[in-house]
């Protein structure tokens, strides 16, 4: 989509949110190829009519060159030509000239040899002062640096998404059933399908079965894809580690260190994912400590959320004798490149 078209959508967004009738748009948007069925369902679940309209206008900016003219055509076909005219006028209106900005190099006072070495400046530079981004506006220098670190996610499909959802655990494990996990799992499936991922969900796996699924995913050829996502919904605990704290349980009560899972996908073990983002979302407790929250004023006893149990779903950890590792200590080695591990709870 061209920048002037994006600008038109942004300028007209308040009116679109206030008056756009979204119900007649869903089928034409799918039939014309702007959105897939999972994407439409995700938009429909956004909330009220206005919230659906707001999210639709935002998502339109990401749907390619055809999105704007096709959207105008659909608006006219569904009797909303007045909104199509507003967007056309906004698109054709000239851009206001930019206001002049006084950009000046910033003088850095770098005193002391230790400070000088930290920032990599020579003694001569330190003595005469250093200008930030000399010769070019500071804003453009910052933008250029940022663009050099942006991942391109243009493949279709974008990548594989593996969801491991453990709800029911064997009795000997002494781990309770994770009520509500299926709701989270279904929302995750819809979200990542809407983001053009190939989603595979496995439920109630023992520890070795979980490892087999993860190893199979790591062995796949990701050469034509741009990203890889792993989501684990289970009980958790603390464990000794070097970089990534915590562990997750299989349904048989056996823990799997997060660090072991992540290492299957690092640059040494999964060559086709080198330089590509690898995202891990861990929905599990990080230990046996309980956060009991704080008291708030309630209008009535009915305000209490159902199922508000304070029971922990993790088991305590005791370091093995002779180990030097601190449980859930701060990572002491560099994190492998292009990897993000996101935890739903703090360690402990």
- Active-site residue list: 235, 285
DSSP states of 301-318:
GGGSPTT-----SEE---
The Cα 117–Cα 123 span in angstroms is 9
DSSP states of 238-259:
----SSS--EEE-TTS-EEEHH
Task: Tell me how far apart the 2 most distant CA atoms of the chain are, in Å.
Answer: 75
Answer positive or negative: Cα dihedral of 79, 82, 83, 84: positive
Which DSSP symbol is given to 203?
E
Q: Confirm if 60 and 68 have CB atoms less than 8 A apart.
A: yes
CA 331 from chain centre, in angstroms, equals 22
**Ordered alpha helix ranges (H), the chain:** 3-19, 26-31, 37-44, 49-60, 67-77, 81-92, 113-119, 123-128, 138-147, 181-194, 207-219, 258-263
Closest C-alpha to 151, from 346, 5, 343, 340? 340
Closest C-alpha to 248, from 324, 344, 336? 344
């Amino acid at each position: 989509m061209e920048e002037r078209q994006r600008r038109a959508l942004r300028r007209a967004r308040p009116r679109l949110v206030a008056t756009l009738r979204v119900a007649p748009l869903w089928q034409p948007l799918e039939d014309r190829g702007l959105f897939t069925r999972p994407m439409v369902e995700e938009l429909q679940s956004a909330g009220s009519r206005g919230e659906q309209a707001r999210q639709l206008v935002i998502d339109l900016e990401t749907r390619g060159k055809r999105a704007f003219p096709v959207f105008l055509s659909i608006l006219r076909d569904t009797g909303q030509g007045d909104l199509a005219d507003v967007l056309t006028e906004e698109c054709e209106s000239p851009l206001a000239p930019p206001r002049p900005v006084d950009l000046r190099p910033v003088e850095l006072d770098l005193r002391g040899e230790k400070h000088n070495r930290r920032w990599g400046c020579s003694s001569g530079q330190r003595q005469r002062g250093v200008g930030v981004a000399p010769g070019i506006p500071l804003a453009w220098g910052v933008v250029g640096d940022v663009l050099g670190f942006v991942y391109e996610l243009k493949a279709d499909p974008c990548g594989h998404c593996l969801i491991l959802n453990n709800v029911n655990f064997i009795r000997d494990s002494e781990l309770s059933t994770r009520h509500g996990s299926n709701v989270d799992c279904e929302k995750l499936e819809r979200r990542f399908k809407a983001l053009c991922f190939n989603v595979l969900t496995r439920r109630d796996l023992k520890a070795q079965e979980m490892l087999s699924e993860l190893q199979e995913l790591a062995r796949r050829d990701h050469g034509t894809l741009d990203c890889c996502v792993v989501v684990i919904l289970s009980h958790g605990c603390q464990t000794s580690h070097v970089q990534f704290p915590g562990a997750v349980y299989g349904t048989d009560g056996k823990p799997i260190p997060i660090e072991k899972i992540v290492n299957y996908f690092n640059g040494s073990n999964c060559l086709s994912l080198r330089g590509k983002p690898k995202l891990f979302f861990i929905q599990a407790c990080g230990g046996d400590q309980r956060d009991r929250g704080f008291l708030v004023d309630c209008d009535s006893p009915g305000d209490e959320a159902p199922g508000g149990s304070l029971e922990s779903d993790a088991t305590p950890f005791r370091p093995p004798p002779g180990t030097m590792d601190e449980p859930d200590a701060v990572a002491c080695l560099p994190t492998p490149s292009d990897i993000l591990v996101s935890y739903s709870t703090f360690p402990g």
